[in-house]
Structure 1
Amino acid sequence: MDGSGRISRRLLLTGATAAAGGLLSGCNAGSSGTSSGQGGSGGTVTLTVMYNNNELTKEHVADFEAKNPGVKINFLQTDPTRLNAMLAAGNPPDFVRGAAVGSANLNARGLATDLTPYLDKSAVLKKDDLLAVNDGFRWDGSKIGQGPYYGLVKDWSQDATLWYNSALFDQVKVPHLSATEPIGYDELLAIGKRLTIRSGGKTTVHGLGLEWAWNLFAPMATMILQQGEQLYTDDLAEVDFTTPAARRAFSWYVDFARAGAGPTSLTPLPDGSDLSTFLAKRMAITQDGYWYGGNFVKESALQSVIRMAPAPRMGDQRISPTYAGVGAWIPAKSKHKDEAWKLMEYFMAGPPAEERAKSGWGLPALKSLLPKLPQELPYQKQAYDVAQAELQFAKPLPDTPYATVDTWNLTLDKNLQQVLKNQTTVDNACQAITKELNKVLKQGKEQIG
């Protein structure tokens, strides 16, 4: 994403899997549909594109059209409701914004085109140049991570990593976080408590921000994987959130909230994001990906004190995933797949991709673009080094076709609030989560078949 709007980056976690939100709506579109060069009058093809206009800009559209004179773009701003209606009607856009995390639902419903034949022939996008984050868009008919590619990532971050203000650490004499060794979650919470400052009954400095309002599923799923346990059964159709690993992850969030170390859904920040509070030097640590550094290019007062640190660890396995991996996919019923693939090549490997890499607003999804990440400013070089070392610990999050991330987030937050209000216990909440999610998973499986 470009730097045109800081808070808009939240779309990575809240709107990226829009089509998956319609889990129980629409029909199975099948995987039929042939590539077509058919178009309108004069042999011009009109390519309908649904994306965010601060990512695929007017300038990009004009440049693409100039380089492909037989193609015109009909641009639609990302709209989950409209997309689901178009998919259900069998008349979808030709090129759609979407995330790798959550793509299993689209693939299981037969809504996305297998891009592997295009990759095999492309002189621009090569399989051996794809970073592993793109594996989140792969689907072998039963699980993600292998098989054909049904989408490609434009940029991404390992979103469990940490950014911190070293000056706030120095004020309370807390040692800086390591740039190479991951801190344990329990130690992170202890430090967050020490960094939290209250005055007159109000919190003047939050010790630790978790972007609670954005995502609960991804960080908890990461914690479970780090402990060597799986979230779902092998068929992705059931979950047990009462396991020791799941209970520990859930309990950590309860402990965090009760400690008052940072914002929660019961004590939210006014804008629902850590950024403005962090920029105001009123938050010591925030859990955000590499992309976060794009916010500080013009913040000279902060550049000398901000640092990036590896993703924390809960358990013996070091795992540092992306929570989204936003990119694009081509619907199975697109009438202009060849032209959509040209746009895919342009957007993922052409000028827009180089611009994104150079901006520092995310890691590129191509190995060949990694050297273009900014390193001019000292904080950029430090973040670059941390991000490069972190790449080896990237791993896809579990992804079922039968339940959405939104459903997970709502269920987790509801039960966390009930525990924090002393309306239930951790054990009962974990049992309730298991029951509620298994009901959703069963319904999803029945719908998809």
Structure 2
Amino acid sequence: MFGNQDLSKKQIAAFEAKNPDIKIRFLQNDPARLNAMLASGNPPDLVIGPAVGSANNNARGLATDLTPYLEKSKVLKTEDLQPANDSFRWDGTQIGKGAYYGIVKDFSQDATLWYNTELFDKAKVPHLSDTEPTSYDELLEIAKKLTVKRGGKTVQFGLGLEWAWSLYAPMSMMVLQQGAQLYNDDLTEIDFTTNAARKAFSWYVEFARAGVGPTSLNPLPDGSDQATFSAKRMAITQDGYWFGANFVEDKALNANIRMAPAPTMGDKRVSPWYSGQGVWIPEKSKRKDEAWKLVEYFIAGEPGVTRAKSGWGLPGLKSLLPQLPKEQPYQKQAYTVAEKELEFAAPLSASPYATTDAVNVVIDKALQRVIRKEQSIDAACSAVTKEINKLLKQGKEQIG
């Protein structure tokens, strides 16, 4: 069960030609259908899905431990796996340790920044560094200088945060950068009332009240920064390496765009991935050995090489990193930044007992109340803690 863009008919045919005893039946990715198939005990043999959040499947016993396959494989080696694969690891209580329950196909360190140098120059704002991260406080001040308003309307945003996509992930990163954690050790409780969590939450409130970028109270029509950034109506967007692949054909625009390191909040430099798409084999698959052969082909074979060359994300294997595009100046610059950024890669904690989407909804509603001045930051952080912990308790009881 993959997306149509993940595996072409030509690639399927090539795999089947090399493995004449295996036939692939392609199912379009459909979460509702997948859940029904998992519940019935007749799941697909191979599934596409995010590494971050995979602990829910693992805790429910739905995914196969792939470590024995990795240990025997002549194609995939644990030492060649990028750090993003750690988000597919689960030791029964913690993420990032223990067995591998999936393999990442591609990922990006999603807190990195893309910016338009032309808009910086017009505002007489110095360009961002290729190597040294900007603090979140500095970033907000830069965004204010780059925001343009006319007749009471914002005609150019200074900064986009892809607010509609995630709030938990960037806030979790901000907390990590302060040397703290949102979750307790066994991922059964969260705490937004700590100084570190409160600081992260407060920054988002300041961002929204400054009016420098889209929020859920002032959303973009398409829910994404890409079109607005492409139209030169947004100076900076917080997006991963993959974002640059949007502009390969737009030579006029890509001559003026650059990538910069993830901003920091605190003394600890951390640059995580928010998802990390990959593949996993359901525990009740009846064709695990055949599925593993497809995993090897999909990750390390021609499909993996083609993905890397496209620039739509960093490959899940270290050995494929040199395949990333460097033909155009902006691609070469982004590659250099991304390669350096990998030194600060680290997994985010994500509890198996509540989905990231559900956590995002709770945070967003609380932010809206504070932005509208209906609630204090302290009260909101307490409410977020209480509401998410209720979700976690329910999830823990369901899984057992």
Q: Which TM class, normalised by the smaller chain length?
A: over 0.9
2:256 is aligned with 1:293: no
Aligned position for 1:182: 133
Give the % identical residues: 70
Aligned position for 1:324: 275
1:409 corresponds, among 339, 345, 360, to: 360
Distance in 1 separating the partners of 2:341 and 2:186: 30
Question: Offset of 1:426 from its aligned partner?
Answer: 1.0
Aligned position for 2:211: 260
2:97 corresponds, among 146, 167, 174, to: 146
Question: Offset of 1:68 from its aligned partner?
Answer: 1.4
Question: Offset of 1:75 from its aligned partner?
Answer: 1.1
Aligned position for 2:382: 431
More off after superposition, 197-206 vs 162-171: 197-206
1:168 corresponds, among 99, 106, 119, to: 119
2:110 is aligned with 1:159: yes
Instruction: Look up the SS of the partner of 2:48 in the other structure.
Output: strand
Question: Offset of 1:237 from its aligned partner?
Answer: 0.6
Question: Offset of 1:393 from its aligned partner?
Answer: 0.3
Instruction: Look up the SS of the partner of 1:52 in the other structure.
Output: coil
Aligned position for 1:278: 229
Matched to 1:386, the amino acid is V
Aligned position for 1:102: 53
Distance in 2 separating the partners of 1:279 and 1:401: 37
2:325 is aligned with 1:374: yes
Residue pairs, 1:13-52, within 5 angstroms: 50-52=1-3
2:178 is aligned with 1:227: yes
Distance in 2 separating the partners of 1:236 and 1:269: 33
Distance in 2 separating the partners of 1:252 and 1:425: 14
Question: Offset of 1:348 from its aligned partner?
Answer: 0.4
Question: Offset of 1:307 from its aligned partner?
Answer: 0.5
Question: Offset of 1:446 from its aligned partner?
Answer: 1.2
Aligned position for 1:248: 199
CA deviations on 1:285-320 (whole Å, 9 max, x unpaired) are 000000011011101001211000000000010000
Aligned position for 2:292: 341
Distance in 1 separating the partners of 2:26 and 2:185: 40
Distance in 1 separating the partners of 2:238 and 2:9: 32
Aligned position for 1:215: 166
2:5 is aligned with 1:54: yes
What is the aligned length? 400
CA deviations on 1:137-161 (whole Å, 9 max, x unpaired) are 1111111111111000000000000
Aligned position for 1:13: none
1:80 corresponds, among 31, 34, 38, to: 31
Question: Offset of 1:183 from its aligned partner?
Answer: 0.2
Question: Offset of 1:85 from its aligned partner?
Answer: 0.9
Aligned position for 1:5: none
Distance in 1 separating the partners of 2:105 and 2:381: 36
CA deviations on 1:371-391 (whole Å, 9 max, x unpaired) are 111111100010000000000
Matched to 1:156, the amino acid is F
Distance in 2 separating the partners of 1:75 and 1:106: 22
**Unaligned 5+ runs, structure 2:** none
Matched to 2:175, the amino acid is I
Instruction: Look up the SS of the partner of 1:222 in the other structure.
Output: helix
Matched to 1:312, the amino acid is P
Q: Cα RMSD (Å) of the superposition?
A: 0.8
Q: TM-score, normalised by structure 1?
A: 0.88
Instruction: Look up the SS of the partner of 1:144 in the other structure.
Output: coil
Q: Which stretches of structure 1, 4 residues or more, deviate above 4 A after TM superposition?
A: none
Aligned position for 2:155: 204
Distance in 2 separating the partners of 1:334 and 1:209: 42
Distance in 1 separating the partners of 2:271 and 2:365: 26
Distance in 1 separating the partners of 2:311 and 2:131: 20
Distance in 1 separating the partners of 2:79 and 2:347: 18
Distance in 2 separating the partners of 1:119 and 1:321: 24
CA deviations on 1:35-68 (whole Å, 9 max, x unpaired) are xxxxxxxxxxxxxxx1101122222222222221
Matched to 1:215, the amino acid is S
Aligned position for 1:10: none
Q: TM-score, normalised by structure 2?
A: 0.99
CA deviations on 1:388-422 (whole Å, 9 max, x unpaired) are 00001000001211111011111111111111222
More off after superposition, 166-175 vs 74-83: 74-83
Aligned position for 1:392: 343
Distance in 2 separating the partners of 1:281 and 1:62: 42
Aligned position for 1:121: 72
Instruction: Look up the SS of the partner of 1:71 in the other structure.
Output: coil
Distance in 2 separating the partners of 1:416 and 1:292: 27
Distance in 1 separating the partners of 2:343 and 2:176: 16
More off after superposition, 65-74 vs 346-355: 65-74
Question: Offset of 1:234 from its aligned partner?
Answer: 1.1
Matched to 1:263, the amino acid is P
Residue pairs, 1:301-316, within 5 angstroms: 301-316=252-267
Distance in 2 separating the partners of 1:197 and 1:66: 57
